[in-house]
A and B are shown apart, each in its own frame.
Chain A
Amino acid sequence: MRLSPFSWFIIGLSTLMLAGVTLFAAVSYRETRNAMISEFQAALREETTALETIYQLQGHKALIEVVTARANANLDDMGNEAVAVYLLTDAKGKKLAGNLAYWPTTEQAVDESSLQFIDPATGDTIVAVVFLLYADQRLLVGRRAVFEQVGQHLWRNYALLVGAVLFVSVGGVWVFTRALRQRLGYISATAERIRRGHLDERIPQSRRRDEIEALIGQLNLMLDQVEKLMEHARTTSSAIAHDLRHPISRLRNELEVLVGETQEPSTRARVETLTADIDSILRIFQAVLRLGRLEAGAYALQLEEAELTELVVDAISLYEPIAENMGRHIHFSGMPATWRIDRDLVFQAVANLLENALSYGAGDILVQVEGRGVIIRDHGEGIAAEDIERVLEPFVRLDESRSSAGSGLGLSLVRAIMEAHGGTLALADAHPGLCATLDFTPVVRPKLVTGASRPKPEA
């Protein structure tokens, strides 16, 4: 999984902490070890001094006895060698007494020198002091340095600790990231739905009081504002269309009266052209109002079970002569499919798409009724991918000069009709041509009469 910046922070912090702990542990281990060694050495010197005293006062033999006694006493109950180590040798290095098998170093022994070596028999570290006697006899008194084992224990525990810390931090990162991802997921899912036009969606808020909740609160407030503005824009255009319709229709009525009163044919023709222009203005207003009502959810759909194939064939029969005049063909394929729809609105949607394909597309038009709904495709230039979202907005026309006929509302109306049905309008570049899909899948489908295709009334 990808790591969030916060996860990197946690991992970095725990690595730093581990490094600090390691450094501290290493330094304190070293210090403790040195302190213990000098403590040992002091104790050893004290013992050698005592042994030296015995040697000087009671002689060589007494020393051997004492050393032997102490070395043997040093065997614990299990017969294992315990902490104290002794070795007394003659000038040739032959063992006279003690519990160490042989002299541990080849170095020339110096009086009162300190030694540290590994017992080959047990692998223990031994700290020792050497003491030279008369006639080059050598006495070694040492201690098994138990702290080395302790040190090993410490290292092992330390490794466990490191593992535990890493485990906790990685696990923490995982849990944290999951929780964070989930909460951010709500935000991005809501954003996605809003982008798709569900402007009333809000990010769910919990009772937690943290930065993310504060952010969500702010985002929701912003969305309220955006929705209000959009609503305002929509109602404004509807209101303009609504209010202007009356004076314009009065104007139209007056022109109609004028046509009746005019005898002069050229004036008559001009007034009729004016009437036609006003009609197209009124048509745009009608479309704006309809779009506004559909988008506001104020349009009461007259839902009924309708045969989609029949509806599409009817629409094709309406536009076929236009296509023929252009030397183009509309090919239809499809299976009977019954959906619960508003047939007038869906007919409008199919008609708009066919008109679009005829006006802006080129080549033959393929119309297909399939499982999801209706697919209409032409073989013209299509719409570039980056323009597809834009072209669904009201009044957007890709023809920048806006010289071609049409209000730029056709596709917006199709989308609004589909969304009022709970379906979608999908546009895609079909290379070549535009492919428009009216997808009714989310619409509650009535009981499907499979296989039983209703006979199509002969048109």
Chain B
Amino acid sequence: MRLLLVEDQTDTAEFVLKALREAGHIADHAKDGREGLFLATTETYDAIILDRMLPKVDGLTILRTLRASSIHTPVVILSALGEIDDRVEGLRAGSDDYLVKPFSTIELLARLDAVTRRSPGQSEPEGHVLRLADLELNRLSRSVKRAGVALELQPREYQLLEYLLRHAGQVVTRTMLLEAVWDYHFDPGTNVIDVHISKLRNKIDPAGLPPLLHTVRGAGYRLGDPQA
């Protein structure tokens, strides 16, 4: 992916750029808002990582300008304000995701993958049936089958599976799952999502079949083809 990072703090920028390049992305770096706005409007990127507090032109202003000029490149906002209470303002200004500093690079990479919707195992306009290997989810009948056997899923398990399938092959973090399935932004004190995943795993990965739902240590989960 070709990415643009607009970040004035040198150490954060270096760290993020290093992580992006190690993950195989091409990343440009703008040190202030004016440079960032210039690059974002003149070059083509798959996604933009935008710091909220920037010298010269503030992050939200850049975002609004881009959206006003019909540039719909996915934008992930980084906020050093340390709180989620300005998240709504960021989303309202047209960002696709919002990440509070400090964040882990895994979280950032996972979210970039999610906003660009580049999922290798999936073609773009989603049909009403999502498939991965012998796992099948029908969005109309809300039914799930593994190797032809119908599975009984709880509503939340169904939602988790649907999200995982839509991001098949990608790393999905616990926070992303919480936000996607429960739609509340909060800090759980425990890894509450793990219990849900383990219940889901027991159903979709019965003994004898190759496991599809993988735990990515230190990051989250990945639903992927066992051969991949």
Quick one: which of A276, A283, A299 contacts B83, CB cutoff 8 A? A299
B82 interfacial contact with A, CB 8 Å: yes
Given A253-B15, A299-B85, A355-B189, check contact A347 B184 (CB 8 Å). yes
Q: What per-residue 1/0 map shows which CB atoms of B62-99 lie under 8 Å from chain A?
A: 00000000000000000000111110100000000000
B227 interfacial contact with A, CB 8 Å: no
Q: In the complex the two chains form, is B187's CB within 8 Å of A322's CB?
A: no
Quick one: which of A260, A272, A301, A459 contacts B156, CB cutoff 8 A? A459
Q: In the complex the two chains form, is A286's CB within 8 Å of B218's CB?
A: no
State the CA gap A407–B189 with chains docked (Å): 9
State the CA gap A245–B184 with chains docked (Å): 24
B2 interfacial contact with A, CB 8 Å: no
Who on chain A is nearest to B104 by CB? A256
State the CA gap A407–B22 with chains docked (Å): 35
Q: In the complex the two chains form, is A272's CB within 8 Å of B218's CB?
A: yes
B217 interfacial contact with A, CB 8 Å: yes
Q: In the complex the two chains form, is B82's CB within 8 Å of A355's CB?
A: no
Interface size class of B (residues with CB under 8 A): 35 or more
Quick one: which of A276, A286, A406 contacts B187, CB cutoff 8 A? A286
Segment among B126-134, B190-198, B203-211 that sits at the interface with chain A: B190-198
Q: Cβ of B41: which chain A residues have Cβ within 8 Å of it?
A: none
State the CA gap A359–B190 with chains docked (Å): 10
B25 interfacial contact with A, CB 8 Å: no
A338 interfacial contact with B, CB 8 Å: no
Q: In the complex the two chains form, is B195's CB within 8 Å of A321's CB?
A: yes
What is the CB-to-nearest-CB distance from B199 to chain A, in angstroms, rounded to a whole number? 6
B106 interfacial contact with A, CB 8 Å: yes
Q: In the complex the two chains form, is B15's CB within 8 Å of A259's CB?
A: no
A344 interfacial contact with B, CB 8 Å: yes
Q: Cβ of B185: which chain A residues have Cβ within 8 Å of it?
A: 344
What is the CB-to-nearest-CB distance from B71 to chain A, in angstroms, rounded to a whole number? 27
Who on chain A is nearest to B184 by CB? A347
Q: Cβ of B102: which chain A residues have Cβ within 8 Å of it?
A: 245-246, 248-249, 252-253, 282
A397 interfacial contact with B, CB 8 Å: no
What is the CB-to-nearest-CB distance from A341 to chain B, in angstroms, rounded to a whole number? 12
Q: In the complex the two chains form, is A317's CB within 8 Å of B187's CB?
A: no
What is the CB-to-nearest-CB distance from A58 to chain B, in angstroms, rounded to a whole number? 127
Q: Cβ of A355: which chain B residues have Cβ within 8 Å of it?
A: 188-190, 192
Count of chain A residues with Cβ under 8 Å from any Cβ of B?
Answer: 49
A6 interfacial contact with B, CB 8 Å: no
Within 8 A of B (CB), among A218-270: 242, 245-246, 248-250, 252-253, 256-257, 259-260
A343 interfacial contact with B, CB 8 Å: yes
Q: In the complex the two chains form, is A318's CB within 8 Å of B192's CB?
A: yes
Q: Cβ of B11: which chain A residues have Cβ within 8 Å of it?
A: 250
What is the CB-to-nearest-CB distance from A181 to chain B, in angstroms, rounded to a whole number? 44
What is the CB-to-nearest-CB distance from A135 to chain B, in angstroms, rounded to a whole number? 127
Q: In the complex the two chains form, is B187's CB within 8 Å of A459's CB?
A: no
B105 interfacial contact with A, CB 8 Å: yes
B139 interfacial contact with A, CB 8 Å: no
Q: Cβ of B195: which chain A residues have Cβ within 8 Å of it?
A: 321-322, 325
Q: Cβ of A276: which chain B residues have Cβ within 8 Å of it?
A: 218
Quick one: which of B18, B83, B159 contacts A293, CB cutoff 8 A? B83
Quick one: which of A242, A317, A325, A351 contacts B82, CB cutoff 8 A? A242
Q: In the complex the two chains form, is B187's CB within 8 Å of A249's CB?
A: no
Q: Cβ of B178: which chain A residues have Cβ within 8 Å of it?
A: 318
A352 interfacial contact with B, CB 8 Å: yes
Q: In the complex the two chains form, is A300's CB within 8 Å of B190's CB?
A: no
Within 8 A of B (CB), among A278-306: 282-283, 286-287, 289-290, 293, 299-302
What is the CB-to-nearest-CB distance from A333 to chain B, in angstroms, rounded to a whole number? 20
Quick one: which of B84, B104, B190 contacts A252, CB cutoff 8 A? B104
State the CA gap A118–B34 with chains docked (Å): 122
Who on chain B is nearest to A410 by CB? B189
Q: In the complex the two chains form, is A302's CB within 8 Å of B88's CB?
A: yes
Within 8 A of B (CB), among A306-339: 311, 314, 317-319, 321-322, 325
Q: In the complex the two chains form, is A300's CB within 8 Å of B184's CB?
A: no
B38 interfacial contact with A, CB 8 Å: no
* 19 cross-chain CB contacts under 8 A: A248-B102, A256-B105, A257-B19, A272-B218, A290-B83, A299-B83, A300-B86, A314-B183, A314-B184, A318-B156, A318-B196, A319-B192, A321-B199, A322-B192, A345-B186, A348-B186, A405-B190, A410-B189, A459-B155
Nearest 7 A/B pairs, CB to CB: A249-B102, A348-B186, A459-B155, A347-B184, A321-B195, A344-B185, A272-B218
